[in-house]
C-alpha cells in the first residue's frame, strides 16, 4: 500500500500517513456522510487535479493502476481507480486542458456523460 500511495500516486508518506500537499496541483477531500457508506459502491476518498487530466491518467495507467472508469462530463473529467486492496478513489479535474494528443475516449473504461 505504501508503494501505491507513495510511489504511484505521488503522495508523501510519513509514519504510516499519506499527505498530498507535496503535489501542487492536487486537492484532497475525505468523503463524509451522516449515513453509513458502502465502501464497495463509494470511493474511500477523492482528490482533484487542476490541469492535464489525460496525462495524469496515462501515467497511472502506465504504472498498471486499475481504472473502474474514466469519464468526460459537462463539468470536466473524472476517473475512479482502485488501490491494491480494491478501495476506490475518485479523481476529478474541472479543466479540459490537454497539451498532448492522449485520447481517453479510446480506452475501454471510457464513459461520456
The length of the chain is: 113
8 Å CB contact between 70 and 28: no
Angle (nearest 5°) at CA 44 between 38 and 46: 130
Can you list the positions of beta strands (E) in 35-86? 45-49, 66-73, 76-82
The CATH architecture that domain 25-112 belongs to is: Roll (3.10)
Question: Residue ranges per domain, the chain?
Answer: 25-112
The pLDDT, as a whole number, for residue 34 is: 59
Structure-block grid coordinates of residue 37: 457508506
Task: Read off the pLDDT of residues 40-62 as tens digits, 9 standing for 90 and up.
Answer: 677 878 888 888 899 999 999 99
In whole angstroms, give the CA distance from residue 39 to residue 106.
29
Compute the mean pLDDT over every residue in the chain, rounded to the nearest whole number: 80
The pLDDT, as a whole number, for residue 11 is: 74
Task: Read off the pLDDT of residues 69-90 as tens digits, 9 standing for 90 and up.
Answer: 999 999 999 999 998 888 889 9
8 Å CB contact between 48 and 26: yes
| pLDDT band at 35; cut points 50, 70, 90 | low
Amino acid at each position: 500500500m505504501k508503494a501505491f500511495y507513495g510511489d504511484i500516486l505521488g503522495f508523501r508518506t510519513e509514519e504510516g500517513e499519506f499527505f498530498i500537499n507535496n503535489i501542487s496541483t492536487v486537492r484532497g477531500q475525505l468523503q463524509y456522510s451522516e449515513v453509513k457508506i458502502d465502501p464497495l459502491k463509494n470511493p474511500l476518498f477523492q482528490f482533484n487535479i487542476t490541469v492535464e487530466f489525460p496525462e495524469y491518467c496515462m501515467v497511472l495507467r502506465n504504472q498498471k493502476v486499475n481504472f473502474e472508469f474514466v469519464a468526460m462530463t459537462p463539468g470536466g473529467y473524472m476517473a475512479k481507480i482502485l488501490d491494491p486492496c480494491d478501495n476506490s478513489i475518485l479523481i476529478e479535474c474541472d479543466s479540459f486542458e490537454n497539451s498532448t494528443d492522449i485520447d481517453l475516449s479510446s480506452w475501454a473504461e471510457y464513459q461520456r456523460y
